[in-house]
Structure 1
Amino acid sequence: MEEIELYLDDAKDTMEKALKHLNIELAKIRAGKASTNMLDGIQVEYYGVPSPLNNVASVTTPDARTIAIKPFEKKIIGEIEKAIRNSNLGLSPTNDGEIIRLNIPPLTEERRRDLVKKVKQEIETAKVNVRNIRKDTNDGIRKLTKEGVSEDDVKKGEERVQKLTDNFIARIDEIFDAKEKDIMAV
């Protein structure tokens, strides 16, 4: 039975990581409010090396509709601006020579629906990941019968894996509901 516990603990940890990854991906999907997370993943050429934006500049949100980017070195302001324009965020940076400002426009109804579709894709990916973890865990638990674990214990283990999976799927659905409300709120 101890082996089954190890599989369950591992499954829970891996499912938690899948949930964390989902939250990171959803943070990148903007809901009409300025967020520094929107710029995660943007790489800036810094002395010939692609570097994350937050490593070469200070990124802040002075208000709900603006992101301010202040480079640590003024000479890379053009590179930052270029990286933002080349990203698929659809934002137009304004540059005063010291700070780049991004104005976040309010979302149209159509754009909100598109974002909800994007969120649904991320949600579905997370659910598939959790179900794959369930499958791998159940496969591992079933193999324990060859090592002398009783079939009753294996069945109980599989039931516990299913309960764990149901719990995580419910949490993912809650995350979706919250994100959808956030996006659709005008």
Structure 2
Amino acid sequence: MNQIQQETEKKMKSCIKNFLASINKLRTDRASPDLLKDLSIEYYGKKTFLGNVSNITVEDSHTLKINTFDKNINKDVEKSIIRSNLGLNPISHGDIIRVPIPLLTEERRNDLIKILYKQAENSKICIRMIRKDSNKLINVSLKDKNISKNEKNKYKNEIQVLTDMYILEIDRLKKIKENSLFSL
């Protein structure tokens, strides 16, 4: 049973980590390479991340500079940035692609908040699915007579405590990001 609990906690921590990574991609007013490094692009017929085929640097507080290792993919990189729904328009300057980061409008800020809430809800669903899977394993242990009914209830309560804790963590992280989007 401890193994089930440890595995459950490990998976829930992974959900939190993925949520944090996804909300860090929601841009604020500052240019950050994290905004584009995990952008998926087509590279000779295979999907890869932009950060794997280029150097992404901050040129100034409102501009990212992309220097691809293979200049033949620059047009594909531009198309991927435009299609990314980040509201960015890349500009080619020879071998370099510059991506100006526009100031957030109130409308875009509200769109980002909606995306944030959707990502938070998806992460909560992930946590609940992990709880559901763990509870199934506990029920199987009871059915196989490896644990008693009292132990089943105890373990399910412990899983529920973990679930509640990680859902509160998602809410806390969501609130921090929401505040940072509104304070700009």
TM over 0.5: yes
Q: Over aligned residue pairs, what C-alpha RMSD do you find?
A: 1.8
Residue in structure 2 matched with residue 154 of structure 1 by the alignment? 152
Secondary structure of the 2:154 match is: helix
- Could you tell me how far apart the structure 1 residues matched to 2:131 and 2:46 are? 40
> What is the CA–CA distance in structure 2 between the aligned matches of 1:124 and 1:180, rounded to whole Å?
14
Q: Describe the superposition over 1:140-178 as per-residue Cα deviations: whole angstroms up to 9, x where unpaired.
A: 112222323111111111111111111101111111011
Q: How many residues align?
A: 182
Residue 36 (structure 1) aligned with residue 33 (structure 2)? yes
- Residues 39 and 84 in structure 2, CA contact (< 8 A), matched pair in contact too: no
Gaps of 5+ in 2: none
**Structure 2 counterparts to residues 66-77 of structure 1, below 5 A:** 66-77=63-74
Q: Check conservation: 2:41, 2:76, Cα contact below 8 A.
A: no
User: What residue identity is the alignment partner of 2:81?
Assistant: I
Q: What is the alpha-carbon distance in structure 2 between the residues aligned to residue 163 and residue 49 of structure 1?
A: 42
Deviation larger for 86-95 or 127-136: 86-95
% same residue: 36
The residue number in structure 1 matching 2:78 is 81
Question: What are the ranges of 5 or more consecutive residues in structure 1 without an aligned counterpart?
Answer: none
**How has the CA–CA distance of structure 1 residues 55 and 112 changed in structure 2, closer, same or farther, with 3 Å as cutoff?**
same
Alpha carbons 1:42, 1:84 under 8 Å: kept: no
Residues 1:11 and 1:48: Cα distance change in structure 2 (over 3 Å): closer
Alignment CA distance shift 1:8-1:57 (3 Å)? same
- 2:37 counterpart of 1:52: no
Tell me which residue corresponds to 1:63: 60
| Shift in alpha-carbon separation, 1:86–1:156, aligned structure 2, 3 A | closer
Runs of 4+, deviation exceeding 3 Å: 46-51, 73-76
1:70 deviates by: 0.9
- Deviation, structure 1 residue 62: 2.8
The CA distance in 1 between the partners of 2:26 and 2:81, in whole Å, is 15
Distance in 2 separating the partners of 1:123 and 1:50: 26
| Alignment check: 8 A CA contact 2:40 2:47 kept | no
Residues 151/47 of structure 1: CA separation in 2 closer, same or farther (3 Å cut): closer
- Please give the alpha-carbon distance, in whole angstroms, between the structure 1 residues aligned to 2:52 and 2:146: 53
**Structure 1 residue 125: Cα displacement:** 0.7
Work out whether 1:103 is the aligned partner of 2:100. yes
> What TM-score do you get using the length of structure 1 for normalisation?
0.88
3-state SS in 2 of match to 1:125: helix
Which stretch of structure 1 is more off in the superposition, 84-93 or 8-17? 84-93
Number of the residue aligned with 1:6: 3
Deviates more, 1:49-58 or 1:126-135: 49-58
